[in-house]
Structure 1
Amino acid sequence: MPHDTPPLDPTVVQWSVRPEDRAGRPLLVLLHGYGADEHDLFALAPYLPDALVVASVRAPLSPPFPAPGFSWYPIEGLDGRDPRHVTESASRFIEWVDAATDATTVGLLGFSQGAAVALQAVRLEPERFAFAINLSGYATPGDLPHDEALAQLRPPVFWGRGTRDDVIPSFLVAHTTEWLPEHADLSGRVYDGLTHSVSEQELADVRTFLEKQLESL
């Protein structure tokens, strides 16, 4: 299908290990939020299980000036958060995954926009991704062709968000609250007082979730 979203740049990815050390190991791909870049979530890598190869990718779009960094899809204008743009970015991301790795186990960790794209990628190819971690993000409204297959597979998904997060619109939180339990093996937590960010407690919970996924491999 035609794309308004450009491909991901394979030269700006942050990897936790050298290419020769990646074979046979599970891969966790990090997808940053709006206005950030590939360095942002990569700071979490030292706190994640050592068994994982971690790769942090850069979103393909530049937000309007003066916003810094990069974005996965527009959130401004009349078509802000258009589900079509989320799907396009997710398909571009899948293209990068297919080109960048032959790992048999690929999990996703996204923050905010990146979390929405991660979940959309799982919906586009339910059998491609082993699990997803949704931090301060949401499930994109609308139906996709493989949603029924996803509901049968029910991949593990961790969803963490804060009670003081005023960035994600409430209707998207409400939609995700209904949609995720129907399509995934959902775990997660609502963190009292947390804003649109990641806390130490949430990071500890993410590590526990990842360790459980590694045990099940």
Structure 2
Amino acid sequence: MTVRPAPTHLDGPRLAPASGRPARQLIVILHGYGADGADLIDLGRAWQGQFPDAAFVAPDAPETLPFEAVGGRQWFALSERSPDEYRLGSEAARPALDRFLDAELAALSLDGGALALVGFSQGAMMAFQCGLRRKAPPAALVAFSGLLPGAARLEAIGTESPVLIVHGSDDDVVPAYHAEAADQALTQAGVVSSLHLLSGLGHSIDERGMVLGGRFLERAFA
């Protein structure tokens, strides 16, 4: 398995604070495999009423998919879909995301505690991989329909960021046992983790998930 370093520059759709005032929070939304930032920026629009002073950004992942006809982007390649591939791929993609987060925070004159990372599927893997290891812990991490890469290597993370895990019980892409395993591993590592398994939901985010995520971020920023 060959893991390529990710390109260094990321960009994607943004939403300025609805209040018109300078941003007090930054909510970064990380899309899944085969999508792009435009696929999830509407999540920010749904939350703007709750966070009028938040800036939202949904960066496009650094790589195009190897299947040109399919379109979309990837944070790292998924060929084997094995634990080693998830860990090594997310580790290789992390530096570019870290630099992007640092630059976005600096542009808004915010510190790391004003940041929240929200990820879906492969984006949730990146939220875990990057967010748990930031020098300045984010205010919160939210993982929709994802898994925790490198679950056996959490001894030194030392993060204070609370984590929300939301997963569909009927997810046939990333089965729900991955959410339960992530919650258990994070709890054992001393992370405050909250797990919600949503009945009848597949590999997606529904109204229940948006409400849970919005309320969780409200508590974290408060």
So what's the TM-score if we normalise by structure 2? 0.83
1:122: how far off? 1.9
Describe the superposition over 1:147-184 as per-residue Cα deviations: whole angstroms up to 9, x where unpaired.
2x23xx3x211100001001115664453132122342
Task: Give the Å deviation of 1:110.
Answer: 0.3
Mapped contact 1:8–1:58 kept (Cα < 8 A) = no
Q: Is the 8 A contact 1:27 1:53 kept in 2?
A: yes
Match of 1:61 in 2: 63
* Aligned-pair CA distance for 1:51: 2.6
Select the residue among 108, 115, 119 that pairs with 1:106: 115
Match of 1:72 among 65, 70, 75: 75
Amino-acid identity (%): 26
Contact in 1 for aligned 2:183/2:195 (Cα 8 Å): no
Query: Within 1, Cα distance between the matches of 2:146 and 2:56?
Result: 20
Instruction: Structure 1: state its 5+ residue gaps.
Output: none
The aligned residue for residue 15 of structure 1 is 14
Q: Secondary structure at the match of 1:45?
A: helix
CA distance in 2 between counterparts of 1:171 and 1:59 reads 26
Whole-angstrom CA distance in 2 between matches of 1:195 and 1:68: 22
- The answer to whether the Cα contact below 8 Å between 2:169 and 2:176 also exists between their aligned partners in 1 is no
Number of positions where the alignment pairs a residue of Structure 1 with one of Structure 2? 206
**Preserved contact between residue 176 and residue 197 of structure 2 (Cα < 8 Å):** no
For structure 2, the residue ranges without an aligned partner over 5 or more in a row are: none
Give the Cα separation in 2 of the matches to 1:132 and 1:163: 20
- Give the alignment's Cα RMSD to 1 decimal: 2.3
Deviations, residues 26-63 of structure 1 (Å, cap 9, x unaligned)? 10001000000010110111211223211110101112
Between 122-131 and 202-211, report the one with greater CA deviation.
122-131
Whole-angstrom CA distance in 2 between matches of 1:191 and 1:78: 24
CA deviation after TM superposition for structure 1 residue 198, in Å: 0.4
Q: Is the 8 A contact 1:36 1:69 kept in 2?
A: yes
Match of 1:181 among 175, 183, 187: 187
Counterpart secondary structure, 2:138: coil
